Amino acid sequence: MLISEIIRKKRDGETLMPDEIGAMVTAISDGSASDAQVAAFGMAVFFQGMTPEEAAVLTLSMRDSGDVFHWDLPGPVVDKHSTGGVGDNVSLMLAPIVAACGGYVPMISGRGLGHTGGTLDKMDSIPGYISVPDNDTFRKVVAEVGCAIIGQTMKLAPADGRFYGIRDVTATVESIPLITASILSKKLAAGLDALVMDVKAGDGAFMETDEDAAALAASITKVAGEAGLRCHALITDMNQPLASAAGNALEVLNATDFLAGLHRDVRLERVVLSLAGEMLSITGLADTREQGFQRAQAALEGGEAAEVFGRMVTALGGPADFMDGPKRYLDEAPIQLPVDAPEAGHVSAIKTREIGLAVVELGGGRRRSEDEVDPAVGLTGLVDLGMMLEKGEPICTIHARDEAGFEAAKAQVLDAYSFGDAPEAIDPVMSIID
């Protein structure tokens, strides 16, 4: 079967047959399709879309392109996945919280896509941390610690691993069937009992409108259901950075401060505990999502979640005393300077995508799939929407490798922030789809 004919058929808006989708996935995973052909296929799907049935076949074909896990554990196996945002370090707190409450979380995460940060890039900023362990190590850590945040191995949904990297650099990220298949192929390969989606909506999300976010959430929950996986989705706001930090090591430090109770961004805490409550309720570890929220909050406040995170880091090769002083292990940028507000007023709007791109320009993200990521660069102290600033008060602090990087990021931050009347407050958890 000619790959070019499959691409042509989808380019022309035709529905692909299961054997055609299977052949494309095989060609992606075994390398018989060139990068150009994979990119062309992604672009064809981007413009022509896929039926739910096509998306389901693509999902299952990518799942079956590699190993599929089967667990034998004394508790439910559950995970969460975010569609990507700015300052979205939720996974680092969520996995250990749920594990502390009796769940098992084999969290297979990705690297940054476009302007959004990647959980795997954050974990790679911890010295010694093995983010892509062998399967035996992965199983052992999940069983003994309760959670493991890792990346795709070459044997786990390898077709998606290649496709994911090409999509990142060919402007085909924002496609509902491709996002659905990418997410669910990994999650189904991980052998989950249940999945909770965090679908972002807003300027800093891939799905900018509430309608697009709802469509993606519906697509994922429908395809997951057809594959036999229980799945709920929360639609959360991404019209401003979720954490007050953006950048890999900086978001790790924000997460460890959160777990240790040293500092918790209010909106971030609301999203983390809401997702935890949903994960505990969908698996039966709590009777209701409200009870799950309370159980998660207790595990956080009692320090059990912080203890689990520290054990996970150690079990995957990181420092044994990481939680005792994470800052001494994380790389720091040599230039750390504030960006001052050019005028007085409330923060009336934030171009959140621009904040993410500022981190990429500093070196904290990728322009090409082979680019190295600088873990130290980024932004901290990002002020929230509605906050009142006087002229000269800091909007944030830029962590840069050099003066040129600082100046470029400063210009982007100043362009991203607008001042005027305070906007109406928005609950970061906008809706829940069962």
| Residues that are catalytic | 79-82, 119, 167, 182, 186-187
Contact (CB, 8 A) for 175 and 55:
no
Two tokens at 279?
Answer: 């994960």
DSSP calls for 158-201: HHHHHHHHHHHTTT----HHHHHHHHHHHHHHTT-SEEEEEEEE
In this structure, what DSSP letter does residue 364 have?
I
The amino acid that residue 314 corresponds to is T
Question: In this structure, how many other beta carbons lie within 10 angstroms of the beta carbon of residue 136?
Answer: 8
Report how far apart, in Å, the C-alpha atoms of 37 and of each of 114, 166, 201 are. 21, 10, 31
Tell the residue number behind the tokens 């494309």, with chain if given. 24
Contact (CB, 8 A) for 231 and 195:
yes
Q: Which residues, in sequence order, are CB contacts of 168 under 8 Å at separation 6+?
A: 111, 112, 113, 114, 366, 369
Tell me whether strands 429-433 and 230-237 are parallel, antiparallel or unpaired.
antiparallel
Task: Please count the CA atoms within 13 angstroms of the CA of 9 that sit on its side-chain side.
Answer: 14
Contact (CB, 8 A) for 48 and 167:
no
Tell the residue number behind the tokens 């994470």, with chain if given. 326
Q: Which residues, in sequence order, are CB contacts of 372 under 8 Å at separation 6+?
A: none
Helices 352-359 + 403-416 axis angle, to 10? 170
Residue 147: helix, strand or coil by DSSP?
strand
User: How large is the C-alpha radius of gyration of the chain?
Assistant: 21
Report how far apart, in Å, the C-alpha atoms of 327 and of each of 88, 231, 306, 365, 417 are. 19, 36, 15, 21, 29
